[in-house]
Amino acid sequence: MASLKDVEQVADDLSSLVDQLRKEIQNDASFDKLTQLADQISEHADGAAGTFSTVNEALMGRLSELKSGGQSRSGSSGSSSRAKARS
């Protein structure tokens, strides 16, 4: 599974590509070079979005597990509390 460390690496890569794009613009780069850099930025951004989505799904799944586990535990502890109160 992807981690936040992976996202940080993608962000670093994106930052580097944006810096390259700025340099090329300042140095009157060809549109071919600008297009290549823009495509690379787009691919990295898509990768970041995919990583965020994967991490989010994993976290939400874990939260759902904890919620469903917590409900069954609180339901059983509530039953035992009521049983003790009756005795």
Q: What would the DSSP string read from start to end of 21-70?
A: HHHHHHTT--HHHHHHHHHHHHHHHHHHHHHHHHHHHHHHHHHHHHHHHH
Q: What is the pLDDT of residue 71?
A: 60
For the chain, list residues with pLDDT below 50: 74-87
Give the pTM: 0.62
Judge contact between 25 and 35, C-beta under 8 A: no
State how far the alpha carbon of 76 is from the alpha carbons of 33, 51, 56, 67, 71, in Å: 65, 38, 30, 14, 9
Q: What is the pLDDT of residue 49?
A: 87
Q: What is the pLDDT of residue 79?
A: 46
Q: Where are the domains of the chain?
A: 4-73
Q: What is the pLDDT of residue 70?
A: 62
Assigned token pair, 40: 């690379």
